[in-house]
Amino acid sequence: MLRHNSVELGLGKIPPQAVDMEVAVLGGLLLQSNLHSEIIPLMRPEHFYKESHQRIFAHMESMFHKSETIDILTVTHKIKNSGELDLVGGAYYITTLTDKIASAANIEAHARVVTQKFLQRDMIRECSEIIRTCYEDTTDVFDVINRLQNFAAEQNAHIIGHEHEGNYEQEVLNVYKSIVSVSDKHLQGIPTGNANLDSITGGFNKTDLVILCGRPGMGKSSRMLEFAKHATLNGKKVAIFSLEMSRDQLIKKQLINSSGILSHNILRHTLSDSEKYDLSFAADKQSKLPFYLNERCGVNPNYIRTVCRERKKKYGLDLIIIDYLQLMVANETKGIPKEQQVASISIALKTMAKELEVPIIALAQLNRDLEKRSDKRPIKSDLRDSGQLEQDADLILSVYRPSQYYTYTSDPDYKDLDELTYKRVSEIGIMKNRHGESEVSIEERFIGEFSRFDGATKTTPF
């Protein structure tokens, strides 16, 4: 891509440039073939201010990637055949590029200056555009912040040049060491609190997008809080974005879970003195766990990304939970159907998980259609609004409580259970697992009065 730099970037000043250094870089490359592999991969045509220099370097870059010889004659011939010789100043100008180069010894320093000037021009362009955007009434401030952060990250990557410094041998050794160290700990990711689920999934793994789905009333939020609790008890820092429940409701659920006090006693304010003591103990313990709760409604992925990026930088962050996905709004919503918005959110969350290197658990609703089937257990196609969720997710879990559809005497899958035991039966289904076994169901107990999932009894295929 060629960038034309004749316009003064709207500030009435000449853009940052170092044309003499550009000449030094191009001349050095024409003189010294041993420098090609060190300089050409680090630069792009748009790094050069003069358009003629952009065109010359573009041809050098193309020749380099085709393993063609690069010198004054071959480059001139290549540019002539492309019909651009007059545009770069003719054959004579190409020969003059080496006239002022006594030695190419300092070409790396010259290339660094050329790149820095390009970055300055790019910053002026981007910041000017951001300033214009900020004057618009319809601008979302979190979109602007996200744009600034992305731009800063791109500039840092450009300066660091990590893309060309990959050491595959070292990377293989690092992965090997991580596998061995994990094997010693018996668990790769963040513990889920369910031993059977951990044995199949390895826990919640870095960069994974996990979808936790179910119909209303199945206990998704309680299951999510169980996951969060076990993560924090293992020293992991957890951020929960609750788009449905308030932070007070979430904290009450956590206190009910951890105190062992009947939920209706707390909700009806009928606590005995001993229960008040137990609640005080639970509150003290709960308050010390590394939770961050955010109850802002209607947030988009850019907002969550901005908040989490800052929290990870300042305090550390190991797990992100969103309750629930369909209540989010896409970064861009104007004229976009709901299904496409959910697809956009799904892609953004997976990208966020990879960038922040943490697992993201997003709760999701299921379609009503499953209730028309004889078998009410969820399947992947029941995910509401988008097949993109099925594609992007690394792990899809479902929560299913048969007592929501059957009585303890009519359920064909559960026989010889008393009524109370049957009401507490819950299944967590592994509908997709990029890392291992899937289409299996793990039976659990859901004790609703304590908002608690307790134990796993058996694992069966769908």
Is 60 exceeded by the pLDDT of residue 1?
Answer: no
- What CA–CA distance (Å, rounded) separates 60 from 79? 9
Helix (H) or strand (E) holding 430: strand 425-433
pLDDT at 204: 92
pLDDT reading at 54 higher than 70? yes
pLDDT confidence of residue 316: 92
Residue of 82, 15, 77 lying closest to 46 (CA atoms): 15
CB-facing half-sphere around the CA of 65: CA atoms within 13 A: 9
165 vs 235, residue with greater confidence:
235
* CB hemisphere CA count around 247 (13 angstroms): 10
Architecture of domain 189-461: 3-Layer(aba) Sandwich (3.40)
pLDDT for the residue 217:
83
The answer, yes or no, to whether residue 6 has pLDDT greater than 70, is no
The structure tokens 């035991």 sit at 421
- Pull the structure tokens for residue 143: 């979109």
Q: For the chain, what is the mean pLDDT? A: 82
The full set of domain ranges for the chain reads: 19-132, 189-461
Helix or strand or coil: residue 69?
A: coil
Q: Distance between CA atoms of 213 and 365, rounded to whole angstroms?
A: 6
**pLDDT category of residue 176 using cuts at 50, 70 and 90:** low
304-341 pLDDT per residue, tens: 888 888 888 889 999 999 988 888 888 776 667 777 88
Which of 48-52, 60-64, 283-287 shows the highest mean pLDDT? 48-52
Distance CA 388, CA 383 (A): 10
Burial classification of residue 396, based on how many CB atoms lie within 10 Å of its CB (0-12 exposed, 13-18 middle, 19 or more buried) = buried
* 452: phi then psi, degrees, rounded to nearest 5: -130, 135
| pLDDT-wise least confident of 220-229, 405-414, 420-429 | 405-414
Residue 171 is a catalytic residue = no
Domain 19-132: CATH superfamily, name plus number: DNAb Helicase; Chain A (1.10.860.10)
- Confidence grade of residue 9 (pLDDT, cut at 50, 70, 90): very low
Q: Is the peptide bond before 92 cis (omega within 30 degrees of 0)?
A: no
Query: From residue 163, how far is each of 41, 201, 277 by CA, in Å?
Result: 10, 31, 57
**Helices first, then strands: H and E counts in the chain:** 17, 9
pLDDT at 184: 46
What DSSP string describes 205-258?
PTT-EEEEEE-TTS-HHHHHHHHHHHHHHTT--EEEEESSS-HHHHHHHHHHHH
Residue 458 φ/ψ, nearest 5 degrees:
-160, 160
Residue-wise pLDDT for 115-157, tens only, equals 889 988 888 888 888 888 888 887 778 778 877 877 776 776 5
Q: Is the pLDDT of residue 185 over 60?
A: no
State CA 384 to chain mean position distance: 21
| Separation of first and last alpha carbons in the chain | 53
The catalytic position among 244, 332, 390, 443 is 244
